[in-house]
Structures are given as C-alpha cells and as structure tokens.
C-alpha cells in the first residue's frame, strides 16, 4: 500500500504561532515523512485574520494550503488579494458572490488531492448549510480525486461530529478547528474517514486559547472587555498527522502531534 502523509496544523495564532511554523515545520516534515502540509491561518494577524504577506510566508515555510474560518474578512487587504492567492481558502459555505474560493485541487506526488474549507453555524455567523455545501462540492468534483481533506471550522462539538459522520466514507479526513484546544478523539470512522473534533492551535500553550492570561482573567472576573491580544512566549505546533491510502483515499492512521513545549505524538487514532 502506498500512503500519503498529511500534516494539518491547528489555528496559527499571532507572531508566536508564525515563528513556530517557520522554526519547527521543516524539521517536523522531515522527521515524520510528510507529503502535504495544510494550516489554518485565520488567527495569524494578531489573533484576528491573516494578511497576504503572512499567507506567502506560510507558503514559503512549507505550508501548501492555508485554510481560514470566521475571521477571514478581518483584514481588508486580504479581501482584495484573495484572487491572487490560489491556495488560500475561505469557508466554502459563504453565499454566492463572496470573494475567494472554498476549496482547491492540487497534485501531491502524482496523487490528486482536494482540500475543502467549511464553517459551522451553531454559535457562529449565519452562513449556508455546511452539510449541503459539502455534498454539492463532492458531487461536482469531476474527476473525483481519491484524497479529500476537510477543515471544519466550528464551535459546537455536536456539529463537528455530525459532519464527520455525514461525510464518512466520502472524504479522507474531517479535521476540526476554531476552539484552539486539542481534543482526545482522533479516530477512523467506519467508512474510512479520519476524524478529530479539534486539532488545537499553533501558538503559546501557556495562555488562554492564545490570549494573555491576565487579559482573559480580567474579562472573566470583571465582565469588562479588555481586548484580546496574543500571548507571547515559546509556541508549539499542534497538528494532526493523517496517513491516507493514495488509491482508495481511506484513512489508515491519524494521530495528534505536538512540537515545541510539551512535544509528543499521540497513539494511533482508534478505529470505530
């Protein structure tokens, strides 16, 4: 069996997250034998949005596809540049007329791959249905690539799990982003789809989901908004390592990788 190894980086948060990608990603790719790198970059610009230059930096440091989420429109300069950044994705379930695109196709070592970006609706901005949007995209892939990876940027665990089951057997992996906390449920669903509710974040772990602890505590203790900001310090990469059969597109292994403070690799994901 010939397999494709995909490394999917959880939300890159601010300058520390970007530094972690620059410093740690090349060694991680080499050690793990990675063929394709995808990263959610929607928190790269000070925790809110991403700029065109940051997208290009991520590409230069080894990220092939950059996905986003509900903060994709935070930087005006990105809206104007979306058409010039073919491997930057915004959620595909935005209504017709939104700039940019929600999925892309590429070839990795001779294997066709599609990457799809979707955003949830529960406790999030009202967008088109991510379930039916995924169905529409998959139906329109002609010819259908054997490998399809979905970044589902969503708040509710139930919505993420539901999409995983909805797409089981039709995509190679459904990988959750947005909540910045790695979940302990990496698994292979019965139809062969790799799944994890949230990959976590690429940022400073000694923080509150990337925010300085003092600011976060002030918000909770007083109820007074104090601005978010980005915690400074040594950041780690949190990622999902997904191994996929190049011919069938079925996931054969999925595990969580932390590189940086608290470095380690989880056991293989359980098979349901």
Give burial (CB, 10 Å; 0-12/13-18/19+) of 237: buried
Q: How far apart are CA 219 and CA 149, in angstroms?
A: 36
Give me the phi and psi of 54, to 5 degrees please.
-70, -35
Q: Using one digit for the tens of pLDDT, what is the confidence trace for 51-91?
A: 999 999 999 999 999 999 999 999 999 988 888 898 999 99
Cα separation of the two ends of the chain: 21
DSSP-based three-state secondary structure for 50: coil
Structure tokens at 40: 């959610």
Q: In which residue are the tokens 């940027």 written?
A: 153
270-271 β-sheet, strand order: 103-108, 111-119, 147-153, 173-177, 194-196, 187-188, 270-271
Residue in 64, 71, 153, 180 annotated catalytic: 71
pTM confidence score: 0.95
Give burial (CB, 10 Å; 0-12/13-18/19+) of 170: middle
Q: Using one digit for the tens of pLDDT, what is the confidence trace for 129-142?
A: 999 999 999 999 99
Q: Using one digit for the tens of pLDDT, what is the confidence trace for 214-269?
A: 889 988 899 887 777 899 999 999 999 999 999 999 999 999 999 988 777 767 77
Beta strands in the chain (DSSP E): 3-9, 11-12, 36-40, 65-67, 103-108, 111-119, 147-153, 173-177, 187-188, 194-196, 201-204, 235-245, 251-259, 264-265, 270-271
Q: Between the CA atoms of 164, 170, 172 and 173, what dihedral angle is there, to the nearest 10 degrees?
A: -10
Supply the pLDDT for residue 162. Answer: 98
Supply the pLDDT for residue 1. Answer: 54
User: What 8-state DSSP symbol labels residue 249?
Assistant: -
Supply the pLDDT for residue 214. Answer: 86
Residue 71 annotated among the catalytic residues of the structure: yes
Q: How far apart are CA 36 and CA 7, in angstroms?
A: 6
Closest C-alpha to 159, from 192, 126, 197? 197
* Per-residue H/E/C for 184-237: CCCEECCCCCEEECCCCEEEECCCECCECHHHHHHHHHHCCCCCCCCCCCCEEE
**What number of CA atoms fall less than 13 Å from residue 104's CA on the CB side?**
18
- Is residue 272 predicted with pLDDT exceeding 70? no
- Is residue 173 predicted with pLDDT exceeding 90? yes
Structure confidence at residue 270 as a pLDDT band (50, 70, 90): low
């Amino acid at each position: 069996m010939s397999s494709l190894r995909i490394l999917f980086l959880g939300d890159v948060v601010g300058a520390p997250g970007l530094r972690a990608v620059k410093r740690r990603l090349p060694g991680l790719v080499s050690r793990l034998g990675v063929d394709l790198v995808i990263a959610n970059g929607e928190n790269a610009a000070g925790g809110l949005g991403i700029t065109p230059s940051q997208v290009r930096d991520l590409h230069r440091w080894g990220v092939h596809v950059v996905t986003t989420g509900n903060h994709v429109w935070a930087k005006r300069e990105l809206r104007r540049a979306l058409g010039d950044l073919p491997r930057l994705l915004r959620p595909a379930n935005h209504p017709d007329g939104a700039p940019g695109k929600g999925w892309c196709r590429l070839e990795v070592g001779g294997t066709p791959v599609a990457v799809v970006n979707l955003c949830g609706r529960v406790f999030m901005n009202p967008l088109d249905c991510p379930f039916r949007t995924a169905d529409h995209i998959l139906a329109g892939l002609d010819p259908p690539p054997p490998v399809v990876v979905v970044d589902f940027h969503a708040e509710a665990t139930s919505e993420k799990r539901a999409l995983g089951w909805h797409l089981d057997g039709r995509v190679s992996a459904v990988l959750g982003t947005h909540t910045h906390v790695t979940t302990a449920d990496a698994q292979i669903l019965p139809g062969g789809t790799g799944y994890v509710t949230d990959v976590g974040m690429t940022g400073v772990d000694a923080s509150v989901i990337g925010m300085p602890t003092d600011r976060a505590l002030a918000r909770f203790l007083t109820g007074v908004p104090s601005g978010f900001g980005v915690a400074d310090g040594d950041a780690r990469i949190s990622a999902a390592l997904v191994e996929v059969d190049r011919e069938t597109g079925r996931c054969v292994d999925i595990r969580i990788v932390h590189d940086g403070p608290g470095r380690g690799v989880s056991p293989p994901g359980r098979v349901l």
